[in-house]
Amino acid sequence: MVLAKVIGTVVSAHKEERLAGVRFLLLDKINPATMQGKGDLVVAIDGLDAGPGEIVFFVAGSSARLTAVTDGKPTDATIIAIVDNIEIGGKYVYQKDKA
């Protein structure tokens, strides 16, 4: 899975019918060592009501369909976790409640 920051939204009225009612967020992949965005943006389906600025991770590939909101839907990127803490080498590099 890949860590990313929620930076925006994508809206489409004309889309594959199986995607009706689905919410699309724009994510920027981050380097957790620095918590900086990589400028590598991806559109992901959100089933966790993630908000702007939140750190999440998403799942790619066929597993992106294995969530409560994406079963049977054509997705290759679905947010599956809103991150509370990231620890590297025993030190927190990110703590949501201190962000």
Q: Which residues are near a second copy by CB under 8 A? A: 1-3, 7-19, 24, 26, 31-33, 39, 41-44, 47-48, 52, 57, 59-68, 72-78, 80-90, 93
Collapse the DSSP code of 97 into the 3-class scheme (helix H, G, I; strand E, B; otherwise coil) and give the result. Answer: helix
Q: How far is the CB of 41 from a second copy (least distance, A)?
A: 6
Q: Which is nearer to a second copy, 1 or 99 (CB)?
A: 1
Q: How far is the CB of 54 from a second copy (least distance, A)?
A: 10
Of residues 1, 7, 93, the one with CA closest to residue 54? 7
Q: How far is the CB of 34 from a second copy (least distance, A)?
A: 10
> Where does residue 58 rank: exposed (0-12), middle (13-18), buried (19+ CB within 10 A)?
buried
Q: Which is nearer to a second copy, 21 or 89 (CB)?
A: 89
Q: How far is the CB of 25 from a second copy (least distance, A)?
A: 10
- For residue 21, what is the enclosing H or E element? none
Distances (CA, A) of 17 to 5, 21, 46: 28, 9, 17
